[in-house]
């Protein structure tokens, strides 16, 4: 099971980090995640760009997903080149040098009871 | 990262705007959104049609998603040719002159705690 | 926009109708829906089979989705050849004589605040 | 409707079993499920691997989905070669000897009102 699985480019059109939350941190902090699975036997060098409604995209953010590992990357934790603003519509494009699989999830804890969404991201066939 | 990503036609079979909600507007107004990502370097001229269970489709609604931008389009905000009725089953087809990526989301705040859904829309391969 | 969009066969591996609910019927009755969009200019004759974990599939259930219409079909409302049991794991296969798009949704109102899921069904490429 | 439907390899990049829950077991136990539909007329011998962020994958877990049956497999119930840890990010790869369809679902009941996610898994085209 060490053959590469997935695609090298993925897009997530929905993006929104709620500006506040309820419940113990970090589990119940309102957040968005790009879950990246690298089932190959090579480390994946991943670049991520954030698109906005009213200004140029920022990026690349860079992260390594080691061979045969998964990384559940919180958009909230991205710092370089700059933090992703909360309460702001965005979208993202993810590019990897080896095929990976990407799934998008949000936990919204603005109200007392949390709400969740998840969908496999859109794979870009080259 | 300015190459076009996605497809020119997308469909969303699920559509329903809850007729009421709880919590501060506009964030907690019950709503549906088509999140559109235009990662290309050309503006996307987007047309949208609404399908119903018991009458002919309406449209096209027209919207521009500028080059290298995302637009999170609320169905609630569509006005021309006519508002999308609430509490009514619908579906939608989205057509763009450049490839885009579309994701569908609903926030349902009819009860005290909001519920969320999201899925990448269905890409129509031409 | 009257060209056919979608596929003729779809599968939904997840299926579960919660056995009870809270809130006014029918909106807050726990339910599952197959949202079917027929964007073509021909009526779609749709057949649906329900698969179980421990007995043979039942079906076909038959429904017509008229040309240029959507139908949000509640599994709860299926009667012929037999009702879909609640509190039971199932899956479904949907077959249409013209291409359609199918999205799967559940509203679970077993607790005071409803929870929602939705995903585009799996399109079977023939 | 006994022809095989689906793919032989699927990936789920998101995985997380909440460490606690509220409400009567087993329905409201926080859990994750891989819903597998085998619409073919041959039994499906399914192998499943779990990927982590910080150690080698474990597996294969083995399960049979009989011909023309669905199995909603709870990750919580996997025991051999070892239980799937809770409160831990993971991902999974599912391999079957006949084509199947896989959908991923989580019920999170950490708070008083449960939250749900679901998405069709990522089909790996061989």
ipTM entry: 0.93
pLDDT band at D3 (very low <50, low <70, confident <90, very high): low
Q: Does residue B1 carry a pLDDT above 70?
A: no
Confidence of residue C3 (pLDDT cuts 50, 70, 90): low
Which residue of chain A comes nearest to D18, CA vs CA? A27
Which pLDDT belongs to residue C82? 96
Chain CA centroid to CA B90, Å: 12
Q: Give the whole-angstrom CA distance, residue A83 versus residue A66.
A: 23
**What string of DSSP letters covers B7-57?**
EEEEEE------S---SSTTTTS-EEEEEEEE-SSS-EEEEEEEEESSS--
Over residues A80-105, the mean pLDDT reads 95
Among chain B residues, CA nearest to D114: B115
Cα distance between residue B81 and residue C70, in whole Å: 20
| Phi, psi dihedrals of residue A5, rounded to the nearest 5° | -130, 125
pLDDT at C113 over 80: no
| pLDDT tens-digit map of C70-109 | 999 999 999 999 999 999 999 999 999 999 999 998 888 7
User: Which tens digit of pLDDT belongs to each residue from A12-36?
Assistant: 999 998 888 888 888 888 888 999 9
Distance of CA B18 to the CA centre of its chain: 15
Calculate Rg over the CA atoms of chain A. 15
Kindly state the percentage of chain D with pLDDT values over 90: 67
Cβ-based contacts of C112 with chain A (< 8 Å): none
pLDDT, one tens digit per residue, over D36-62 is 999 999 999 999 999 999 999 999 999
Alpha carbon A16 to chain centroid, angstroms: 11
Quick check: A45 contacting B, CB < 8 Å?
Answer: no
Q: Which CATH number fits domain C7-124: 2.60.290.11, 3.40.720.10, 2.60.120.10, 3.10.129.10?
A: 2.60.290.11
Separation in Å, CA D106 to CA A34, B73, B112, D17, D81: 16, 28, 22, 8, 22
Q: Among residues 11-40 of chain B, which lie with CB inside 8 Å of chain D? A: none
Residues of B with Cβ-Cβ distance to A121 under 8 angstroms: 120
Q: Work out the number of other CB atoms within 10 angstroms of the CB of residue D35.
A: 24
Q: What is the pLDDT of residue D84?
A: 95
Could C123 and B120 be called an inter-chain contact, meaning their C-beta atoms sit closer than 8 Å?
Answer: no
pLDDT surpassing 80 at residue A2: no
- For B104, the token pair is 């569908």
């Amino acid at each position: 099971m060490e053959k590469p699985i997935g695609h090298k480019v993925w897009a997530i059109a929905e993006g929104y980090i709620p500006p506040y939350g309820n419940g113990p941190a970090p589990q119940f902090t309102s957040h968005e995640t790009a879950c990246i699975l690298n089932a190959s036997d090579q480390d994946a060098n991943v670049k991520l760009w954030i698109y906005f409604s009213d200004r140029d995209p920022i990026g690349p953010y860079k992260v390594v997903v080691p061979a045969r590992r998964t990384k559940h990357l919180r958009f909230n934790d991205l710092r370089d080149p700059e933090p992703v603003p909360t309460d702001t519509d965005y979208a993202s494009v993810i590019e990897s040098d080896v095929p990976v699989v990407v799934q998008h999830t949000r936990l919204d804890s603005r109200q007392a009871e949390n709400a969740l969404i998840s969908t496999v991201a859109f794979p870009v066939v080259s």
